[in-house]
Structure 1
Amino acid sequence: MTVNVGAIRPAAACLLAGLLVLGAAQPAVAAPRRAEQWYVDELRIEQAHKLSTGRGVVVAVLDTGVDANHPDLKGQVLRGGRSDGGSGDGRTDTHGHGTHMAGIIAATNASPDGVDGIAPGAKILPIKLDASRDEAAPYDAAPVSLGIRMAVDGGAKVINMSLGKPSAATPAELSAIQYALDHDVVVVVAAGNTAKGSTKVDAPANVPGVIAVTGTTRGGRFWSGSVQGPEAVIAAPGDDIYNAGRDNGYGWGDGTSDSTAIVAGIAALIRSKYPNLDAPNVINRIIRTARDAGPAGRDPQYGFGLIDPVTALSANVPPVTANPLLDPTAATADPAPTQTADAAEEFDVTQHGDRGGPTDQQVMVIVIGVAVVLVLVLGLVAFLIWNRRRYRREAALAANVPDHLLDQEPPGGYPPPGAGYAPPSGYPPPPGYAPPGGGYPPPPGYAPPGGGYPPPSGYAPPGYGPPGGAPPPAPPGSGNRS
Structure 2
Amino acid sequence: MRQRVRARAVRLLAWTTLLAALPVPVVVAAPAAAAPTTRCTTPSQKLLPEVPWTHERLKPQRVWPLTKGEGVLVAVIDTGVDAAVPQLAGKVRRGVDVVNRAGAADDDCYGHGTFVAGVIAARPASGTGMVGLAPGATIMPIRQANGPSDGTASTLARSIRAAVDAGASVINVSASTFFPSEELRLAVEYAAGRDVLLVAAASNEAQQGNPVAYPAAYPQVLAVGSVGPDGRRSEFSEVGSYLDLMAPGVDVVSLSRGGVGHLVDSGTSYATPFVAATAALVRSYHPKLTAVQVKRRLELTADHPGTTLPDQQMGWGVVNPYQAVTTILPEEHTRVPAVGPQPPLNPVAQSAAETSAREAAFEFSLTAVVLAGLIGLVGYLIPRGTRRGWRSIGELEEEPKPQSRRGRGRPSDRDRRGRFG
In structure 1, the residue matched to 2:275 is 263
Greater C-alpha Rg? 1
Which of residues 182, 189, 202 in structure 1 aligns to 2:193?
182
For residues 336-390 of structure 1, the C-alpha deviation after alignment (integer angstroms, 9 at most, x for no partner) is xxxxxxxxxxxxxxxxxxxxxxxxxxxxxxxxxxxxxxxxxxxxxxxxxxxxxxx
CA distance, structure 2, for counterparts of residue 87 and residue 300 of structure 1: 41
Structure 2 counterpart SS, 1:145? helix
The answer to whether the 8 A contact 2:52-2:129 is kept is no
For residues 6-56 of structure 1, the C-alpha deviation after alignment (integer angstroms, 9 at most, x for no partner) is xxxxxxxxxxxxxxxxxxxxxxxxx97242511111101111212210000
In structure 1, the residue matched to 2:241 is 230
- CA gap of 1:196–1:64, structure 2 versus 1, over 3 A, is farther
Structure 2 unaligned segments of length 5 or more: list them: 1-45, 334-421
- CA gap of 1:307–1:113, structure 2 versus 1, over 3 A, is closer
Cα RMSD of the aligned pairs, angstroms, is: 1.9
The answer on 1:134 being equivalent to 2:147 is yes
Which of residues 273, 278, 287 in structure 1 aligns to 2:285?
273
CA distance, structure 2, for counterparts of residue 149 and residue 233 of structure 1: 23
- CA gap of 1:113–1:36, structure 2 versus 1, over 3 A, is closer
Question: How far did residue 258 of structure 1 move?
Answer: 0.5
The answer to whether the 8 A contact 1:214-1:259 is kept is yes
- CA gap of 1:111–1:173, structure 2 versus 1, over 3 A, is farther
Which of residues 47, 50, 60 in structure 1 aligns to 2:65?
50
- Within 5 Å, give how 1:204-215 maps onto structure 2: 204-215=215-226
Question: How far did residue 201 of structure 1 move?
Answer: 3.7
Question: Please, what TM-score do these two structures have when normalized by structure 1?
Answer: 0.57
For residues 196-240 of structure 1, the C-alpha deviation after alignment (integer angstroms, 9 at most, x for no partner) is 946144111111110000100113211111111111001111000
The answer to whether the 8 A contact 1:54-1:122 is kept is yes
The answer to whether the 8 A contact 2:249-2:268 is kept is yes
In structure 1, the residue matched to 2:329 is 317
CA distance, structure 1, for counterparts of residue 236 and residue 221 of structure 2: 21
In structure 1, the residue matched to 2:122 is 107
The answer to whether the 8 A contact 2:122-2:135 is kept is yes
The residue identity in structure 2 corresponding to 1:205 is: A
Which of residues 157, 178, 182 in structure 2 aligns to 1:171?
182
The residue identity in structure 2 corresponding to 1:281 is: Q
The residue identity in structure 2 corresponding to 1:64 is: T
Aligned residues: 287
Question: How far did residue 167 of structure 1 move?
Answer: 2.5
CA distance, structure 1, for counterparts of residue 306 and residue 227 of structure 2: 12
In structure 2, the residue matched to 1:73 is 88
The residue identity in structure 2 corresponding to 1:296 is: T
- CA gap of 1:89–1:111, structure 2 versus 1, over 3 A, is farther
CA distance, structure 1, for counterparts of residue 309 and residue 258 of structure 2: 43
Question: How far did residue 305 of structure 1 move?
Answer: 1.3
- CA gap of 1:70–1:114, structure 2 versus 1, over 3 A, is farther
Structure 1 counterpart SS, 2:188? helix
Which of residues 203, 211, 218 in structure 2 aligns to 1:192?
203
- Within 5 Å, give how 1:253-402 maps onto structure 2: 253-319=265-331
In structure 2, the residue matched to 1:152 is 164
The residue identity in structure 2 corresponding to 1:37 is: P
The residue identity in structure 2 corresponding to 1:161 is: V
Question: How far did residue 166 of structure 1 move?
Answer: 2.3
The residue identity in structure 2 corresponding to 1:304 is: W
The residue identity in structure 2 corresponding to 1:210 is: V
Question: Please, what TM-score do these two structures have when normalized by structure 2?
Answer: 0.65
CA distance, structure 2, for counterparts of residue 105 and residue 40 of structure 1: 12
The answer to whether the 8 A contact 1:151-1:159 is kept is yes
The residue identity in structure 2 corresponding to 1:118 is: L
For residues 35-89 of structure 1, the C-alpha deviation after alignment (integer angstroms, 9 at most, x for no partner) is 2511111101111212210000000000000000001100110121111243221
In structure 1, the residue matched to 2:355 is none
For residues 114-151 of structure 1, the C-alpha deviation after alignment (integer angstroms, 9 at most, x for no partner) is 62001000000000113xx322x154011111110110
CA distance, structure 1, for counterparts of residue 206 and residue 216 of structure 2: 17
CA distance, structure 2, for counterparts of residue 125 and residue 114 of structure 1: 24
Question: How far did residue 291 of structure 1 move?
Answer: 1.6
In structure 2, the residue matched to 1:430 is none
CA distance, structure 2, for counterparts of residue 34 and residue 162 of structure 1: 26
CA distance, structure 1, for counterparts of residue 184 and residue 248 of structure 2: 27
CA distance, structure 1, for counterparts of residue 207 and residue 49 of structure 2: 29
Which consecutive segments of 4 or more residues in structure 1 shift more than 6 A? Answer: none
The answer on 1:121 being equivalent to 2:130 is no
The answer to whether the 8 A contact 2:121-2:138 is kept is yes
- CA gap of 1:196–1:34, structure 2 versus 1, over 3 A, is farther
Task: Give the fraction of aligned pairs with identical amino acids, expressed as a percent.
Answer: 38
The answer to whether the 8 A contact 2:144-2:151 is kept is no
CA distance, structure 1, for counterparts of residue 102 and residue 113 of structure 2: 17
The residue identity in structure 2 corresponding to 1:134 is: G
For residues 266-325 of structure 1, the C-alpha deviation after alignment (integer angstroms, 9 at most, x for no partner) is 00000001111111111111001112115232111111111111111111113369xxxx
